[in-house]
């Protein structure tokens, strides 16, 4: 049977390239009239990211013969140009890679590290209170960036195309400029005061007279293009030893920062084994420490496995109550036990064990909320901002990448290193600046996540791959601070418990509970009757901003499916 030609369609502002199906029977296999939402479909691969231009670049890399890792590297650099509030080369993150040839699933941990001069009291005022400015908008707020080293390691170990070919698309974007869209206008306007406080940042994102770029106008990133060219030619040495490193260190020395050339030279990503769990016939593979997200997802699913959620129904009060109570207990444990396992004895095996989940489930009242003051970390023996970003890739050969990386706040610290076009992260706020003090996202922390030289701050990032019958079924992840964990979790539940396709699973309203503060956040769109029942059960329900922004790919049979979360403008799923 001859296949029909490719078609190019614009759907809700997203450019979607997919292979049309030639028979009514094939269409029924993908599009069901029982479903209100439908994923994008591809025949040879799928890329989903938070920005459609970056997704298109990923697909072009696949078309040129690159694999999922090649596409991921190109997307990672492209997002530094097209999504500057979150995409980055001055931050860090985690990449999970499934290798079809060997069957391995590995993790590249390129999370930022604390500089050698960091110490536990560095963010305290003389009276012992926490100095938020030093944690959020100062050179001291930056951890040693890991993105460039992490993407390089991924390419060297698993890539197939030349490194330069993967950086070049981002260089072209920065050189030629990008057109200002609604997301740029909104985020730059929202952060205007902070961004204008630093000269190099002001020059990068505003016109010479200090005015805003308008919708549809072009903005060129000359310094960023120069930095990307150096990285393309010299690899990570440009960033960690060469011209870029020298500029970072000079800026640190001139403005009270502590990152040194030795800090940069000594940075290296770490290969880690994922944490693994099972849930109703699926295998869940996710992030280990220094991320809390993977452990929390497995722990929560282990608790929920004790209840017939399918019988209760999707987003019913009974189902949401049980999910919230499981979240509450997981975040309590997060506060005490989770940190960088290279510096703290994290009890991973216990936290993700079925036995421990059984113990936690016994304390859940199925009809009443448990006040958080009565929920303590279990007895047995902090955060990403909304401006984290995630992308997922599947290729024809069966390779899968789930990558989450971040600057922390929107535009990170807001500080652009002069002459580089590179925004510095403010990831040091992910540490516990003081035991018992909340960070910017309300998360409590203790000694497990205290500041130490070379240590990585606790993260919520949880790129996750789900396997069915030993084969990758889906890959997903999200931004959203502590909410990224719960957003990712609910996409998984919607697929595994309720049989939703990934578009429906993505679009369903979400909830979030993080133990402290003792509030159940719900998105708009949740039934008022359901909210009233949850309140009668004792939950302090608050209608909140959107929760997370998952970017999900799935493979079933010979087709690839992609769902870009509509909660963020400009996201794109692109198959081919």
Task: Find the range with the poorest average confidence among 201-215, 385-399, 514-528.
Answer: 385-399
The answer to whether residue 151 scores a pLDDT higher than 80 is yes
Catalytic residues: 388
**How much of the chain exceeds pLDDT 90, in percent?**
82
The per-residue pLDDT of the chain, averaged, comes to: 91
The rounded distance, in Å, linking the Cα atoms of 296 and 446 is: 17
Predicted confidence (pLDDT) at residue 11 exceeds the cutoff of 50: no
SS (H, E, C) 245-292: HHHHHHHHHHCCCCCCHHHHHHCCCEEECCEEEEECCEEEEECCCCEC
- For residue 508, the SS3 value is coil
**Binding site per annotation, positions:** 111, 406-408, 430, 459-460, 481
- pLDDT at position 10 over 60: no
SS (H, E, C) 195-250: HCCCHHHHHHHCCCCCCCCCCCCEECCHHHHHHHHHHHHHCCHHHHCCHHHHHHHH
- How many residues can be counted in the chain? 576
Q: What pLDDT sits at residue 31?
A: 72
Distances (CA, A) of 268 to 142, 150, 481: 17, 8, 25
In what helix (H) or strand (E) does residue 107 lie, and over which residues does it extend?
strand 105-110
Q: How would you classify the pairing of strands 178-179 and 422-423?
A: unpaired
* Other CB atoms within 10 A of residue 558 CB: 10
Structure tokens of 145?
A: 């960036």
pLDDT tens-place string over residues 446-461? 678 889 999 999 898 9
pLDDT of residue 221: 98
Select from 412, 463, 417 the least CA-distant residue to 440. 412
Using omega within 30 degrees of 0 as the cis cutoff, is the peptide bond preceding 166 cis?
Answer: no
Of residues 242 and 570, more confidently modeled? 242
- As annotated, the binding site for L-glutamate includes 111, 406-408, 430, 459-460, 481
Residue 449: what pLDDT?
84
Which band of pLDDT confidence, cut at 50, 70 and 90, is reported for residue 565?
very high
What's the whole-number mean pLDDT along residues 306-326? 98
The helix (H) or strand (E) run that includes residue 15 is strand 14-18
Q: What angle do CA 276, 279, 282 make, to 5 degrees?
A: 80
CA distance 473 to 62: 20
Rounded to 5°, the CA angle 463-425-181 comes to: 80
The rounded Cα 467 to chain-centroid distance in angstroms is 20
Percent of the chain with pLDDT over 70: 91
Rounded-to-integer distance, Cα 70 and Cα 399, Å: 11
466, pLDDT greater than 60: yes
Which segment of 197-201, 233-237, 448-452 scores lowest on mean pLDDT?
Answer: 448-452
DSSP, collapsed to helix, strand or coil, labels residue 178 as: strand
Q: Give pLDDT tens digits for 63-74.
A: 999 999 999 999
Q: What is the pLDDT of residues 400-430, one digit of tens each?
A: 999 999 999 999 999 999 999 999 999 999 8
In this predicted structure, the answer to whether residue 83 has a pLDDT above a threshold of 60 is yes
State the architecture of 275-385+460-549 in CATH terms.
Orthogonal Bundle (1.10)
Task: Output the CA–CA distances (angstroms, integers) from residue 67 to 62, 206, 530, 540, in the order listed.
Answer: 6, 37, 45, 47
> What is the pLDDT, as a whole number, of residue 335?
85
Q: What is the pLDDT of residue 380?
A: 40
- Quote the distance between the C-alpha of residue 477 and its chain's center: 6
Count of beta carbons in the 10 Å neighbourhood of residue 569: 15
CA 212 – CA 41 distance, rounded (Å): 38
What are residue 560's DSSP bridge partners? 42, 555
**Ranges of each domain in the chain:** 53-271+394-449, 275-385+460-549
pLDDT of residue 439: 52
pLDDT at 18: 40
């Amino acid at each position: 049977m001859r296949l029909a030609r490719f078609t190019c369609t614009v759907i809700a502002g997203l450019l979607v390239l997919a292979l049309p199906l030639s028979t009514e029977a094939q269409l029924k296999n993908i599009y069901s009239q029982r479903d209100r939402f439908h994923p994008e479909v591809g025949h040879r691969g799928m890329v989903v990211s938070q920005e459609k231009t970056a997704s298109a670049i990923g697909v072009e890399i696949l078309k040129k013969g690159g694999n999922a890792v090649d596409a991921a590297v190109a997307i990672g650099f492209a997002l530094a140009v097209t999504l500057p509030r979150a995409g980055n080369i001055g931050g860090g993150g985690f990449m999970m890679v499934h290798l079809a040839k060997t069957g391995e699933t590995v993790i590249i941990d390129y999370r930022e590290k604390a500089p050698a001069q960091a110490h536990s009291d560095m963010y305290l005022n003389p009276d012992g209170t926490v100095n938020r400015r030093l944690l959020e908008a100062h050179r001291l707020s930056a951890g040693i960036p890991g993105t460039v080293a992490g993407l390089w390691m991924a390419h060297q170990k698993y890539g197939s195309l030349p490194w330069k070919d993967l950086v070049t698309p981002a260089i072209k974007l920065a050189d030629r400029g990008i057109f200002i869209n609604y997301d740029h206008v909104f985020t730059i306007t929202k952060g205007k005061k902070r961004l204008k406080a630093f000269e190099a940042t002001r020059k990068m994102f505003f016109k010479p007279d200090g005015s805003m770029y308008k919708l549809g106008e072009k903005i060129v990133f000359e310094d960023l293009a120069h930095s990307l060219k150096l990285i393309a030619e010299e690899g990570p040495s440009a960033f960690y030893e060469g011209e870029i490193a020298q500029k970072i260190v000079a800026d640190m020395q001139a403005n009270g920062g502590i990152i040194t050339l030795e800090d940069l030279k000594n940075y290296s990503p770490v290969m880690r084994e994922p944490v693994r769990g099972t849930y109703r016939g699926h295998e869940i593979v996710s992030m280990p420490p220094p991320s809390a997200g993977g452990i929390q997802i497995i722990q929560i699913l282990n608790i929920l496995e004790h209840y017939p959620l399918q019988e209760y129904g999707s987003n019913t009060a009974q189902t949401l109550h049980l999910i919230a109570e499981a979240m509450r207990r997981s975040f309590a444990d997060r506060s005490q036990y989770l940190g960088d396992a290279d510096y703290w004895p994290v009890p991973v095996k216990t936290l993700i064990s079925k036995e421990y989940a059984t113990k936690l489930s016994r304390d859940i009242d199925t009809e009443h909320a448990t006040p958080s003051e009565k929920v303590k970390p279990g007895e047995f023996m902090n955060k990403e901002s909304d401006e984290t970003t995630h992308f997922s890739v599947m290729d024809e050969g069966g390779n899968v990448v789930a990558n989450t990386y971040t600057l922390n706040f929107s535009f990170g610290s807001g500080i652009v290193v002069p002459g580089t076009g590179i925004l510095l992260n403010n990831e040091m706020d992910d540490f516990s600046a003081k035991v018992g003090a909340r960070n910017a996202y309300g998360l409590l922390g203790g000694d497990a996540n205290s500041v130490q030289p070379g240590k990585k701050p606790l993260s919520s990032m949880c790129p996750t791959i789900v396997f069915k019958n030993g084969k990758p079924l889906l890959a997903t992840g999200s931004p959203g601070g502590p909410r990224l964990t719960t957003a990712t979790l609910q996409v998984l539940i919607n697929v595994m418990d309720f049989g939703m396709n990934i578009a429906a699973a993505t679009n369903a309203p979400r909830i979030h509970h993080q133990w402290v503060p003792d509030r159940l956040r719900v998105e708009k769109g949740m039934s008022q009757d359901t909210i009233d029942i949850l309140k009668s059960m004792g939950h302090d329900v608050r209608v909140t901003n959107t929760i997370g922004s998952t970017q999900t790919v799935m493979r079933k049979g010979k087709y690839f499916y992609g769902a870009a979360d509509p909660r963020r403008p400009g996201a794109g799923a692109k198959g081919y």
